[in-house]
Amino acid sequence: MAESPLTAASVTAALQDFRDPETGLSVIQQDQVRDIRVEGNRIALTLALTTHSAPLWKETQQACAQLLQTRFPQAAAVDVQLAVHERPALAIGQIGLKAKSVIAVGSGKGGVGKSTVAASIALGLKRAGCRVGLMDADVYGPSIPQLIGVHQRAEADENKRIRPIDFEGMPVISMGFFVPPGEAVVWRGPMLHGAIMQFLRDTNWGELDYLIIDMPPGTGDIALTLSQLLPLTGAVIVCTPQDVALLDAVKAIAMFRKVNIPVLGMVENMSYFLCPDNGKRYDIFGHGGAKKRATELDVPFLGEVPIQMQIRINGDEGRLAGNFTDDQSAQFFEAICHRLIKNLSASVSEKPKLPSLTVL
Ligand SMILES: Nc1ncnc2c1ncn2[C@@H]1O[C@H](COP(=O)(O)OP(=O)(O)OP(=O)(O)O)[C@@H](O)[C@H]1O
Ligand SMILES: [Mg+2]
């Protein structure tokens, strides 16, 4: 094949099928490629991406440069700069929440690390550059305030809407911000529904790329409520490698599917223990069960997190964010965030779409 001539027009043509990771639509058609400059045999351009895709920015930038280098072998240099492309989050469902993706983190079993994983996914996406909110839907046993070490009271703003607690730039809401620690919440089902409604509809979340919801253990009550209130992007299932936990995870997957919440993937927590004394690895709850079960159930496997004393200590001491400053644990949570967003991006590239008003 003859070399394509190196002009701004041919660079535009070469990127015609290059997809935006958020929508799966052409970056050219969405006006996300700016300032194309061809100087001699050097190409320079600016690729504007949304904060929703922040975890994928680097690889998208590399893929764009790679494509141009392959298409124009005569180019001595390809310089792709990144910029932010503003694409507003529109209201989803009928409750007015402005979020592009709403992701529930759940499991069938208690104590497997849902809240740890949910808060870590929220923090990981936030650190990558996304606009993230974290909602603790465990109304009876809220643990997010403890994990992130925030014990403020949430209050209403001048418009009588709940003002979420700001945790390092991330809005967070939890029943723990309304009930004094140690006090029990004794409610009937309909009140539970009301609380979730208030957290979603009457809370001033601002505009979010992702709302991450920490689900309570057990029954499908909250999942059903959520599915009635807004179209969820999907659920992440957390489990440990034990057979009993896996069995519960299978039930949780069935439950989410029953209420039409797609399952985005499975995380195996407490996967193994690396002994700091002798470097030996112990598969305390067995290992690899979640990955195997995920394949059987046709659910993506998002990654594993080993048992680490520091993760437990960070949670107990309200320093969950420490999971990202410690190389030992950061890599696992970062990999899970990356795979989750990569999968979302792959699914839109199959069915490209602009965020739109969805009414249930
Ligand atoms: N990978 C890990 N290594 C060490 N400790 C962990 C790990 N994951 C979670 N933990 C600890 O296990 C305990 C339970 O975790 P967490 O509260 O996240 O579970 P959960 O599934 O949300 O529980 P519940 O069902 O009560 O909501 C916490 O003390 C937490 O710090
Ligand atoms: Mg929990």
DSSP assignments along 66-124, one per residue: HHHHHH-TT-SEEEEEEEEPP-PPPEETTTTEEEEEEEEEE-SSTTSSHHHHHHHHHHH
CA–centroid distance, 341 to ligand 1, in Å, is: 23
Closest ligand by atom to 238 CA: 1
Residue 263 has a pLDDT of: 94
CA–centroid distance, 238 to ligand 2, in Å, is: 11
- Residues 319-346 have pLDDT tens digits of 999 999 988 899 999 999 999 999 999 9
| Backbone conformation region of residue 253, classed left if phi is above 0, alpha if psi is from -120 to 50, else beta | alpha
**Which ligand 1 atom is at minimum distance from the Cα of 315?**
31
Which of 192-206, 253-267, 332-346 is modeled with the greatest confidence? Answer: 332-346
Measured distance CA(58)–CA(103) in Å, rounded: 23
CA–centroid distance, 314 to ligand 1, in Å, is: 11
How many C-beta atoms lie closer than 10 Å to residue 293's C-beta? 22
**Which ligand 1 atom is at minimum distance from the Cα of 218?**
25
- According to DSSP, the β-strands at 42-49 and 33-39 are antiparallel
- Identify which has the larger pLDDT, 49 or 155: 49
Residue 148 has a pLDDT of: 96
Which residue has a Cα nearest atom 15 of ligand 1? 113
- Judge contact between 275 and 309, C-beta under 8 A: no
Measured distance CA(101)–CA(99) in Å, rounded: 6
**Which ligand 1 atom is at minimum distance from the Cα of 214?**
22
pLDDT band of residue 276 (cuts 50, 70, 90) is: confident
Residue 275 has a pLDDT of: 83
Measured distance CA(38)–CA(75) in Å, rounded: 9
Which residue has a Cα nearest atom 1 of ligand 1? 307
Residue 1 has a pLDDT of: 55
**Which ligand 1 atom is at minimum distance from the Cα of 216?**
27
The DSSP element (H or E) to which 58 belongs, if any, is: helix 57-71
Give the chain's length.
360
Task: Return the structure tokens found at 273.
Answer: 């223990």
Which residue has a Cα nearest atom 23 of ligand 1? 111
pLDDT band of residue 114 (cuts 50, 70, 90) is: very high
Q: Please state, for a pLDDT cut of 70, what percent of the chain lies above it.
A: 98
Measured distance CA(122)–CA(125) in Å, rounded: 5
Kindly tell me if the per-residue pLDDT of 36 is higher than 90: yes
Which residue has a Cα nearest atom 29 of ligand 1? 312
The DSSP element (H or E) to which 332 belongs, if any, is: helix 327-350
Smallest Cα–Cα separation from 142: which of 168, 171, 167, 119?
A: 119
Closest ligand by atom to 336 CA: 1
Q: Tell me the CA distances in angstroms from 217 to 56, 117, 151, one per residue in order.
A: 31, 13, 22
Three-state DSSP at 337 gives helix
Q: Which whole number is the average pLDDT over 131-158? A: 93
Domains 8-84 and 91-350 share a fold: no
Mean pLDDT of the chain: 91
- Identify which has the larger pLDDT, 212 or 292: 212
Residue 138 DSSP code? -
Domain covering 91-350, topology: Rossmann fold (3.40.50)
- Give the predicted TM-score (pTM) of the model: 0.94
**Which ligand 1 atom is at minimum distance from the Cα of 109?**
25
Smallest Cα–Cα separation from 210: which of 344, 349, 57?
A: 344
pLDDT band of residue 286 (cuts 50, 70, 90) is: confident
- Identify which has the larger pLDDT, 3 or 343: 343
Residue 163 has a pLDDT of: 96
Dihedral (Cα; 256, 261, 263, 264), 10-degree rounding: -150
**In the chain, what are the domain boundaries?**
8-84, 91-350
Q: Identify the residues whose C-beta falls under 6 Å from ligand 1.
A: 110-116, 138, 141, 143, 217, 269-270, 305, 307-308, 311-312, 315
Q: Comparing 88-102, 199-213, 287-301, 304-318, which segment has the lowest mean pLDDT? A: 287-301
Question: What are residue 126's phi and psi, to 5 degrees?
Answer: -60, -45
Burial track 318-334 (b if 16+ CB lie within 10 A, e otherwise) = eebbbbbeeeebbebbb
The dotted CATH code for 8-84 is 3.30.300.130
Measured distance CA(98)–CA(207) in Å, rounded: 5
- Judge contact between 223 and 102, C-beta under 8 A: no
